[in-house]
Amino acid sequence: MGEKLEKYVCANCGYTSDGKFTGDICPQCNQTYWKCGECGFLITAGTPPTECPQCNKKCEFLNVTCYTPECGGPGNIDPRL
């Protein structure tokens, strides 16, 4: 039997790929999920802003896009992050 390829789907535009997106960014829309390290605000963007639109602070944003089956797979936010 053939080897099953893992599919990755962009939560923003629905683009499907046979492998993980390079740099965790969708090649179709250049989007990913980001979470503010200060207030937890979620944003979808190609790159995170320097200032959070929710708390208006300069924050570190974490990539919280899920790419593993343990958190629901592509199209979900990883709740562990």
Phi-psi region of 72 (alpha: psi -120 to 50; beta: other; left: phi over 0): left
- Non-local CB neighbours of 20 within 8 Å, separated by 6+ positions: 8, 67
Total number of domains in the chain: 1
pLDDT tens digits, the chain, 81 residues: what are they? 455 566 777 766 778 888 777 766 777 776 788 889 999 888 877 788 889 988 999 989 998 887 777 877 666 778 877
Owning domain of residue 78 = 1-81
